[in-house]
Amino acid sequence: MIKLHDLYFKSFISEQEVDTAVQRMVDEIANDLQDEVPVFVGILNGSFMFVSDFVKKYPKPCEVTFIKLASYEGLKSSEDIQRLIGLTQDLSGRKVVILEDIIDSGNTLEAIHRIFENEMVDELKIATLFYKPEAYKKDYKLHYIGLEIPNKFIVGYGLDYNGLGRDLPAIYQLKTTQHMTNLVLFGPPGAGKGTQANFLKEKYNLIHISTGDVFRFNIKNETALGMLAKSFMDKGELVPDQVTIDMLNAEVEKNADAKGFIFDGFPRTNAQAEALDQLMEDKDSQINAMIALEVDDEVLVERLLERGKTSGRKDDADESIIRNRITEYYKKTAILKDYYAAQDKYYGVDGVGSINEITERLNNVIDKL
Ligand code: IMP
Ligand code: MG
* pLDDT tens track for 248-307: 999 999 987 889 999 998 998 899 999 999 999 988 889 999 999 999 999 999 988 888
The rounded distance, in Å, linking the Cα atoms of 78 and 107 is 8
Does residue 45 have a cis peptide bond before it, meaning omega lies within 30 degrees of 0? Answer: yes
94 catalytic, yes or no? no
pTM over 0.75: no
Q: Is 156 left (phi over 0), alpha (psi -120 to 50) or beta?
A: left
- Written in H, E and C, the secondary structure of 162-181 is CCECCCCCCEEEECCCCCCC
Residue 80 above 90 pLDDT? Answer: no
Residue closest by Cα to atom 10 of ligand 1: 102
Q: Whose CA is nearest to atom 5 of ligand 1?
A: 104
**Side chain identity, residue 307:** R
Residue 73 predicted with pLDDT over 70: no
| pLDDT at residue 156, rounded to an integer | 98
Answer yes or no: is the C-beta of 192 below 6 A from any ligand 1 atom. Answer: no
Catalytic option among 152, 325, 337, 345: 325
323 catalytic residue (yes or no): no
116 lines ligand 1 (CB under 6 A): no
Amino acid at 107: N
Which residue, judged by its Cα, is nearest atom 3 of ligand 1?
A: 105
How buried is 148 (Cβ within 10 angstroms: 0-12 exposed, 13-18 middle, 19+ buried)? exposed
Check residue 76 and give its pLDDT. 63
- How confident is the model over 108-146, as pLDDT tens digits? 999 999 999 989 999 999 999 999 999 999 999 999 999
| Residue 280 and residue 287 in contact, taking contact as beta carbons nearer than 8 Å | yes
Q: Is the CB of 102 under 6 A from ligand 1?
A: yes
